[in-house]
Amino acid sequence: MIEHRPFDSLGRMDIDWLSARYHFSFAHYHDPARMGVGPLRVWNDDTIQPGGGFEPHGHRDMEIITYVRSGAISHRDHLGNEGRTEAGNVQVMSAGSGIRHAEFNLEDEVTRIYQIWIQPDRSGAAPRWDQRAFPKLERAGVLVPLASGRPGDDGALPIHQDAALLGATLLPGQSVNHALAPGRRAYLVVAEGAVEAGGLTLGPRDGAVVTDRPSLEIRAASPAEILLADLP
């Protein structure tokens, strides 16, 4: 089964420096039918104006993945970690026993990110932060693990969960096929372009819940960039 989540149907919040769209219930937006997929609890589509950002705040027991779509996001936390993550790259913060951090758009242009929260398979782990470059040319026509807790996903940023976030770029007519082990599910998001998957056409920034399928073929209808979370 594939359940289409069109971009226009997502929850929303708009303030002076932030335009946010929520794939799942978050903050003031609550939809009992959209509480997450397995351990995936948050997928926020954030557009941050220059100079805007999230003041220091705390998290615990959550794997927080940030995928930068355009611009860059700058991170600082109480452990002394600092970094600037550019478009196409990924950062992971394992909040574990507790971490305080801030994120800001220090660029002269708008920054667009996905913030993805996955519940860990343990509580109280040591908090940590890391980032990694994932050049889009290396993801051309193939789903590459970006963040993962699955064995064998070498090169991916580690997370504390039997889950993986994968990404690919596709030319028109190009396709990728992703196998899902029995009992597993997926959440697919089209970062750019349009794709066909399971008989549905998904447009820019759409999402789709994938369940009870052994595999999913994703074919690009236009130049496309996709992200897929493989989940227990």
Q: In this predicted structure, what is the pLDDT of residue 137?
A: 84
**pLDDT by residue (tens digit) across 189-225?**
999 999 999 999 999 999 999 999 999 999 999 999 9
Q: What pLDDT tens digit does each residue of the chain (232 aa) get?
A: 999 999 999 999 999 999 999 999 999 999 999 999 999 999 999 999 999 999 999 999 999 999 999 999 999 999 999 999 999 999 999 999 999 999 999 999 999 999 999 999 999 999 999 999 998 888 999 999 999 999 999 999 999 999 999 999 999 999 999 999 999 999 999 999 999 999 999 999 999 999 999 999 999 999 999 999 999 9
* Homologous superfamily assigned to 11-134: Jelly Rolls (2.60.120.10)
Dihedral angle computed from the Cα positions of residues 81, 55, 188 and 223, in that order, rounded to the nearest 10 degrees:
-90
**pLDDT by residue (tens digit) across 145-176?**
999 999 999 999 999 999 999 999 999 999 99
The architecture in CATH of the region 137-231 reads Sandwich (2.60)
Q: In this predicted structure, what is the pLDDT of residue 136?
A: 85
Q: What is the 3-state secondary structure (H, E, C) of the chain?
A: CEEEECHHHCEEEECCCEEEEECCCECCECCCCCCCECCEEEEEEEEECCCCEEEEEEECCCEEEEEEEECEEEEEECCCCEEEEECCCEEEEECCCCEEEEEECCCCCCEEEEEEEECCCCCCCCCEEEEECCCHHHHECCCEEEEECCCCCCCCEECCCCCEEEEEEECCCCEEEEECCCCCEEEEEEEECCEEECCEEECCCCEEEECCCCEEEEEECCCEEEEEEEEC
What pairing do the DSSP bridges indicate for beta strands 144-148 and 157-158? parallel
Distance CA 40, CA 47 (A): 21
One fold for 11-134 and 137-231: yes
> How many CB atoms sit inside 10 A of residue 121's CB?
15
What one-letter code names the amino acid at 143?
Answer: L
User: CA nearest 167: which of 120, 230, 102, 101?
Assistant: 230
Q: In this predicted structure, what is the pLDDT of residue 171?
A: 97
Q: In this predicted structure, what is the pLDDT of residue 138?
A: 86
> How many CB atoms sit inside 10 A of residue 42's CB?
20
Q: Where are the domains of the chain?
A: 11-134, 137-231
